Copies of this chain bind each other. A is one copy, B any other.
Protein backbone atom coordinates (compact mmCIF):
# COMPACT_ATOMS: atom_id res chain seq x y z
CA UNK A 1 0.00 0.00 0.00
CA UNK A 2 2.55 2.48 -1.16
CA UNK A 3 2.55 6.20 -1.73
CA UNK A 4 3.42 8.02 -4.92
CA UNK A 5 7.15 7.52 -4.41
CA UNK A 6 6.66 3.79 -3.95
CA UNK A 7 4.28 3.71 -6.89
CA UNK A 8 7.16 4.94 -9.04
CA UNK A 9 9.53 2.43 -7.47
CA UNK A 10 7.12 -0.37 -8.28
CA UNK A 11 6.89 0.88 -11.83
CA UNK A 12 10.69 0.83 -11.99
CA UNK A 13 10.89 -2.68 -10.63
CA UNK A 14 7.91 -4.44 -12.09
CA UNK A 15 7.22 -2.57 -15.29
CA UNK A 16 10.87 -2.37 -16.32
CA UNK A 17 10.21 -4.74 -19.17
CA UNK A 18 6.93 -3.63 -20.58
CA UNK A 19 4.40 -6.42 -20.45
CA UNK A 20 3.26 -5.72 -23.97
CA UNK A 21 2.79 -9.07 -25.64
CA UNK A 22 -0.28 -9.54 -27.81
CA UNK A 23 -1.80 -11.52 -24.97
CA UNK A 24 -1.26 -8.80 -22.32
CA UNK A 25 -4.12 -6.34 -22.73
CA UNK A 26 -3.55 -4.57 -19.38
CA UNK A 27 -0.21 -4.96 -17.58
CA UNK A 28 0.97 -3.62 -14.21
CA UNK A 29 -0.57 -0.41 -12.82
CA UNK A 30 -4.32 -1.04 -12.81
CA UNK A 31 -6.35 -2.96 -10.23
CA UNK A 32 -5.79 -6.20 -12.13
CA UNK A 33 -3.97 -7.38 -15.25
CA UNK A 34 -6.05 -8.37 -18.27
CA UNK A 35 -4.90 -11.25 -20.42
CA UNK A 36 -6.02 -13.12 -23.50
CA UNK A 37 -5.91 -16.87 -22.87
CA UNK A 38 -4.35 -18.94 -25.66
CA UNK A 39 -6.86 -20.78 -27.83
CA UNK A 40 -7.08 -24.54 -27.74
CA UNK A 41 -4.93 -24.74 -24.63
CA UNK A 42 -5.61 -24.95 -20.94
CA UNK A 43 -4.36 -22.53 -18.29
CA UNK A 44 -1.98 -23.82 -15.60
CA UNK A 45 -1.61 -21.85 -12.34
CA UNK A 46 0.88 -22.37 -9.52
CA UNK A 47 1.89 -20.22 -6.56
CA UNK A 48 4.86 -20.37 -4.17
CA UNK A 49 6.04 -18.29 -1.24
CA UNK A 50 9.71 -17.93 -0.29
CA UNK A 51 10.49 -16.55 3.18
CA UNK A 52 13.88 -15.26 4.24
CA UNK A 53 15.39 -17.48 6.90
CA UNK A 54 13.20 -20.40 5.84
CA UNK A 55 13.65 -20.81 2.10
CA UNK A 56 16.86 -18.85 1.71
CA UNK A 57 19.33 -17.53 4.30
CA UNK A 58 19.38 -13.89 5.35
CA UNK A 59 22.05 -12.19 3.27
CA UNK A 60 21.34 -14.09 0.05
CA UNK A 61 21.90 -11.65 -2.83
CA UNK A 62 18.83 -9.80 -4.07
CA UNK A 63 19.64 -11.04 -7.57
CA UNK A 64 19.51 -14.68 -6.46
CA UNK A 65 16.31 -14.09 -4.47
CA UNK A 66 14.59 -12.58 -7.51
CA UNK A 67 15.74 -15.34 -9.84
CA UNK A 68 14.94 -18.15 -7.43
CA UNK A 69 11.46 -16.85 -6.56
CA UNK A 70 10.41 -17.13 -10.18
CA UNK A 71 12.36 -20.36 -10.78
CA UNK A 72 10.47 -22.38 -8.17
CA UNK A 73 7.13 -21.50 -9.74
CA UNK A 74 8.35 -22.11 -13.30
CA UNK A 75 9.57 -25.50 -12.10
CA UNK A 76 5.98 -26.42 -11.23
CA UNK A 77 4.88 -25.44 -14.73
CA UNK A 78 7.72 -27.55 -16.16
CA UNK A 79 6.45 -30.53 -14.16
CA UNK A 80 3.06 -30.16 -15.86
CA UNK A 81 4.67 -29.79 -19.32
CA UNK A 82 3.30 -26.25 -19.57
CA UNK A 83 4.68 -23.32 -21.53
CA UNK A 84 5.12 -20.32 -19.17
CA UNK A 85 3.21 -17.16 -20.01
CA UNK A 86 2.74 -14.69 -17.17
CA UNK A 87 3.67 -14.10 -13.54
CA UNK A 88 2.41 -11.84 -10.77
CA UNK A 89 4.84 -11.11 -7.96
CA UNK A 90 4.23 -9.91 -4.42
CA UNK A 91 7.22 -8.60 -2.58
CA UNK A 92 7.26 -7.98 1.15
CA UNK A 93 10.32 -6.03 2.33
CA UNK A 94 11.24 -4.35 5.62
CA UNK A 95 12.29 -1.17 3.80
CA UNK A 96 12.19 0.24 0.28
CA UNK A 97 15.89 -0.08 -0.62
CA UNK A 98 16.30 0.88 -4.27
CA UNK A 99 19.57 -1.02 -4.73
CA UNK A 100 18.10 -4.19 -3.32
CA UNK A 101 14.96 -3.83 -5.44
CA UNK A 102 17.04 -3.24 -8.54
CA UNK A 103 19.06 -6.40 -7.91
CA UNK A 104 15.88 -8.35 -7.23
CA UNK A 105 14.35 -7.16 -10.49
CA UNK A 106 17.57 -7.96 -12.40
CA UNK A 107 17.50 -11.55 -11.14
CA UNK A 108 13.79 -11.96 -11.74
CA UNK A 109 13.94 -10.65 -15.30
CA UNK A 110 17.00 -12.71 -16.27
CA UNK A 111 14.86 -15.80 -15.87
CA UNK A 112 11.61 -14.20 -17.06
CA UNK A 113 13.28 -13.13 -20.29
CA UNK A 114 14.91 -16.51 -20.78
CA UNK A 115 11.48 -18.15 -20.80
CA UNK A 116 9.43 -15.34 -22.31
CA UNK A 117 7.50 -14.82 -19.06
CA UNK A 118 5.74 -11.47 -18.76
CA UNK A 119 5.42 -9.95 -15.29
CA UNK A 120 1.90 -8.55 -15.51
CA UNK A 121 1.25 -7.36 -11.96
CA UNK A 122 2.21 -7.49 -8.33
CA UNK A 123 1.97 -6.09 -4.87
CA UNK A 124 4.59 -4.34 -2.79
CA UNK A 125 4.16 -4.32 0.97
CA UNK A 126 6.05 -3.73 4.16
CA UNK A 127 6.96 -6.73 6.28
CA UNK A 128 9.52 -9.48 6.74
CA UNK A 129 11.34 -10.30 3.49
CA UNK A 130 9.09 -12.65 1.56
CA UNK A 131 8.23 -13.20 -2.09
CA UNK A 132 5.22 -14.91 -3.61
CA UNK A 133 5.15 -15.67 -7.31
CA UNK A 134 2.04 -16.92 -9.03
CA UNK A 135 3.00 -18.27 -12.44
CA UNK A 136 0.65 -19.00 -15.32
CA UNK A 137 1.30 -21.28 -18.24
CA UNK A 138 -0.52 -22.99 -21.06
CA UNK A 139 -0.60 -26.51 -22.45
CA UNK A 140 -2.71 -28.58 -24.77
CA UNK A 141 -4.99 -30.63 -22.54
CA UNK A 142 -3.67 -33.95 -23.91
CA UNK A 143 -0.05 -32.94 -23.26
CA UNK A 144 -0.31 -32.11 -19.54
CA UNK A 145 1.72 -34.33 -17.21
CA UNK A 146 0.22 -35.21 -13.86
CA UNK A 147 1.47 -36.77 -10.65
CA UNK A 148 -0.76 -39.77 -11.16
CA UNK A 149 -1.06 -42.01 -14.20
CA UNK A 150 2.05 -44.22 -14.12
CA UNK A 151 1.83 -48.02 -14.17
CA UNK A 152 3.66 -50.84 -12.36
CA UNK A 153 6.88 -51.57 -14.19
CA UNK A 154 7.48 -47.97 -15.26
CA UNK A 155 10.94 -46.70 -14.46
CA UNK A 156 11.48 -43.81 -12.03
CA UNK A 157 13.69 -41.16 -13.62
CA UNK A 158 15.20 -37.86 -12.51
CA UNK A 159 16.81 -35.04 -14.45
CA UNK A 160 20.20 -33.55 -13.61
CA UNK A 161 21.97 -34.17 -10.31
CA UNK A 162 20.43 -34.44 -6.85
CA UNK A 163 21.75 -33.00 -3.60
CA UNK A 164 23.80 -30.15 -5.07
CA UNK A 165 21.37 -27.47 -3.96
CA UNK A 166 21.32 -28.71 -0.35
CA UNK A 167 25.12 -28.75 -0.34
CA UNK A 168 25.06 -25.30 -1.95
CA UNK A 169 22.85 -24.00 0.84
CA UNK A 170 25.36 -25.25 3.43
CA UNK A 171 28.22 -23.59 1.55
CA UNK A 172 26.24 -20.36 1.19
CA UNK A 173 25.55 -20.29 4.94
CA UNK A 174 29.24 -20.85 5.68
CA UNK A 175 30.23 -18.04 3.31
CA UNK A 176 27.64 -15.66 4.78
CA UNK A 177 29.00 -16.49 8.24
CA UNK A 178 32.59 -15.96 7.04
CA UNK A 179 33.58 -19.55 7.88
CA UNK A 180 36.63 -20.87 6.01
CA UNK A 181 36.16 -23.92 3.79
CA UNK A 182 38.62 -26.51 2.52
CA UNK A 183 36.64 -26.81 -0.72
CA UNK A 184 38.00 -25.20 -3.86
CA UNK A 185 36.46 -21.86 -4.81
CA UNK A 186 35.21 -23.42 -8.07
CA UNK A 187 33.32 -26.18 -6.29
CA UNK A 188 31.90 -23.77 -3.71
CA UNK A 189 30.63 -21.45 -6.42
CA UNK A 190 29.15 -24.30 -8.43
CA UNK A 191 27.22 -25.62 -5.43
CA UNK A 192 26.00 -22.17 -4.36
CA UNK A 193 24.90 -21.54 -7.95
CA UNK A 194 22.88 -24.75 -7.85
CA UNK A 195 21.03 -23.49 -4.75
CA UNK A 196 20.59 -19.87 -5.85
CA UNK A 197 19.93 -20.38 -9.56
CA UNK A 198 17.95 -23.58 -10.09
CA UNK A 199 17.09 -24.12 -13.75
CA UNK A 200 13.40 -24.85 -14.21
CA UNK A 201 13.24 -27.78 -16.65
CA UNK A 202 10.72 -26.16 -18.95
CA UNK A 203 12.12 -27.61 -22.16
CA UNK A 204 12.43 -31.11 -20.74
CA UNK A 205 8.90 -30.96 -19.30
CA UNK A 206 7.47 -30.04 -22.68
CA UNK A 207 9.35 -32.88 -24.38
CA UNK A 208 8.27 -35.48 -21.82
CA UNK A 209 4.65 -35.16 -22.96
CA UNK A 210 3.76 -38.49 -24.54
CA UNK A 211 6.82 -40.19 -23.04
CA UNK A 212 6.40 -39.86 -19.26
CA UNK A 213 3.29 -41.27 -17.56
CA UNK A 214 3.63 -39.15 -14.38
CA UNK A 215 5.80 -36.20 -13.42
CA UNK A 216 6.54 -33.79 -10.57
CA UNK A 217 9.32 -31.43 -9.61
CA UNK A 218 11.65 -32.08 -6.68
CA UNK A 219 11.43 -29.17 -4.27
CA UNK A 220 11.51 -30.87 -0.88
CA UNK A 221 13.83 -33.78 -1.69
CA UNK A 222 13.17 -37.21 -3.14
CA UNK A 223 12.23 -38.77 0.23
CA UNK A 224 9.43 -36.23 0.68
CA UNK A 225 8.37 -35.67 -2.92
CA UNK A 226 8.48 -39.16 -4.43
CA UNK A 227 5.94 -40.57 -1.93
CA UNK A 228 3.50 -37.90 -3.18
CA UNK A 229 3.84 -39.18 -6.73
CA UNK A 230 3.50 -42.75 -5.45
CA UNK A 231 0.27 -41.91 -3.61
CA UNK A 232 -1.14 -40.24 -6.73
CA UNK A 233 -0.24 -43.33 -8.79
CA UNK A 234 -1.35 -45.82 -6.11
CA UNK A 235 1.96 -47.66 -6.46
CA UNK A 236 5.08 -48.61 -4.52
CA UNK A 237 8.44 -47.17 -5.49
CA UNK A 238 11.78 -48.92 -5.27
CA UNK A 239 14.84 -46.71 -5.60
CA UNK A 240 18.35 -48.11 -5.97
CA UNK A 241 20.37 -45.51 -4.09
CA UNK A 242 23.58 -46.36 -5.94
CA UNK A 243 21.91 -45.11 -9.10
CA UNK A 244 21.22 -41.62 -7.69
CA UNK A 245 22.93 -39.03 -9.90
CA UNK A 246 25.67 -37.44 -7.76
CA UNK A 247 27.71 -34.62 -9.29
CA UNK A 248 31.48 -34.33 -9.04
CA UNK A 249 30.95 -31.17 -6.99
CA UNK A 250 28.84 -33.02 -4.44
CA UNK A 251 31.45 -35.81 -4.27
CA UNK A 252 34.01 -33.14 -3.39
CA UNK A 253 31.68 -31.69 -0.77
CA UNK A 254 30.70 -34.87 1.09
CA UNK A 255 31.62 -38.52 1.57
CA UNK A 256 29.52 -41.13 -0.28
CA UNK A 257 27.04 -41.66 2.57
CA UNK A 258 26.43 -37.94 3.08
CA UNK A 259 26.16 -37.35 -0.67
CA UNK A 260 23.51 -40.05 -0.81
CA UNK A 261 21.68 -38.51 2.15
CA UNK A 262 21.74 -35.06 0.51
CA UNK A 263 20.55 -36.49 -2.81
CA UNK A 264 17.66 -38.23 -1.04
CA UNK A 265 16.60 -35.65 1.50
CA UNK A 266 18.29 -32.38 0.62
CA UNK A 267 15.61 -30.57 -1.33
CA UNK A 268 15.76 -27.42 -3.45
CA UNK A 269 17.06 -29.21 -6.56
CA UNK A 270 14.03 -28.36 -8.75
CA UNK A 271 14.80 -31.27 -11.01
CA UNK A 272 11.99 -33.31 -12.54
CA UNK A 273 11.10 -36.76 -11.27
CA UNK A 274 9.03 -38.78 -13.73
CA UNK A 275 7.87 -42.26 -14.66
CA UNK A 276 8.59 -43.81 -18.05
CA UNK A 277 7.40 -47.19 -19.36
CA UNK A 278 10.11 -49.45 -20.83
CA UNK A 279 8.71 -49.07 -24.34
CA UNK A 280 9.19 -45.28 -24.20
CA UNK A 281 12.81 -45.41 -23.05
CA UNK A 282 14.28 -45.18 -26.57
CA UNK A 283 12.35 -41.94 -27.16
CA UNK A 284 13.51 -40.66 -23.77
CA UNK A 285 17.14 -41.41 -24.58
CA UNK A 286 16.79 -39.50 -27.82
CA UNK A 287 15.88 -36.43 -25.68
CA UNK A 288 18.89 -36.65 -23.43
CA UNK A 289 21.23 -33.93 -24.62
CA UNK A 290 23.40 -32.02 -22.20
CA UNK A 291 20.96 -32.65 -19.39
CA UNK A 292 21.57 -35.97 -17.69
CA UNK A 293 18.53 -38.22 -17.24
CA UNK A 294 18.88 -41.12 -14.82
CA UNK A 295 16.74 -44.16 -14.12
CA UNK A 296 16.88 -44.44 -10.32
CA UNK A 297 14.28 -47.12 -9.71
CA UNK A 298 10.99 -48.67 -10.64
CA UNK A 299 7.30 -48.62 -9.77
CA UNK A 300 5.59 -51.73 -8.39
CA UNK A 301 2.20 -52.83 -7.13
CA UNK A 302 1.80 -51.80 -3.49
CA UNK A 303 2.41 -48.68 -1.45
CA UNK A 304 5.34 -46.81 0.06
CA UNK A 305 8.91 -46.14 -0.92
CA UNK A 306 11.66 -48.76 -0.55
CA UNK A 307 15.31 -47.83 -0.79
CA UNK A 308 17.91 -50.40 -1.77
CA UNK A 309 21.67 -50.46 -1.97
CA UNK A 310 23.33 -53.17 -4.04
CA UNK A 311 19.89 -54.73 -4.40
CA UNK A 312 19.32 -55.02 -0.60
CA UNK A 313 16.89 -53.02 1.54
CA UNK A 314 18.63 -49.97 2.95
CA UNK A 315 17.78 -47.16 5.36
CA UNK A 316 19.54 -43.83 5.04
CA UNK A 317 21.68 -42.87 8.09
CA UNK A 318 19.40 -39.88 8.71
CA UNK A 319 16.01 -40.32 7.08
CA UNK A 320 15.92 -36.52 6.89
CA UNK A 321 12.24 -35.92 6.36
CA UNK A 322 12.13 -32.19 6.87
CA UNK A 323 9.21 -31.11 8.95
CA UNK A 324 7.17 -28.20 7.69
CA UNK A 325 9.84 -26.04 6.17
Contact = CB atoms under 8 A, between A and B. Distances in A.
Given A126-B54, A324-B96, A32 B80 contact: yes
A228 B29 CA distance: 9
A125 interface: yes
B90 A31 contact: no
A198 interface: no
Interface residue tally on A, bucketed by range: 35 or more
Contacts of A287: none
Interface string A233-259: 000000000000000000000000000
Contact of A79 (B31, B33, B217): B31
Given A30-B147, A217-B31, A25 B42 contact: yes
Nearest to A7: B228
A34 interface: yes
Interface string A70-98: 00000011011010001011101000100
A2 interface: yes
Contacts of A51: 92, 125-128, 130
B134 A134 contact: yes
A111 B141 CA distance: 30
Contacts of A321: 3
A125 B216 contact: no
A145 B21 CA distance: 21
Given A7-B228, A146-B30, A216-B31, A55 B88 contact: no
A1 B45 contact: no
A157 to B, nearest CB: 16
Most buried by B among A4, A34, A37: A34
Interface of A: 1-4, 6-7, 25-26, 29-37, 42-51, 53-55, 76-77, 79-80, 82, 86, 88-90, 92, 96, 120-123, 125-128, 130, 132, 134-137, 139, 141, 144, 146-147, 215-217, 219-220, 224, 227-228, 232, 267, 321-325
Top 9 nearest A-B pairs (CB, nearest first) are A51-B127, A37-B37, A32-B46, A134-B134, A132-B132, A31-B79, A49-B90, A31-B76, A47-B88
17 contacts: A1-B219, A1-B325, A4-B227, A30-B80, A32-B135, A33-B44, A34-B144, A47-B89, A47-B132, A50-B125, A54-B125, A54-B126, A88-B134, A96-B324, A126-B324, A132-B134, A134-B134
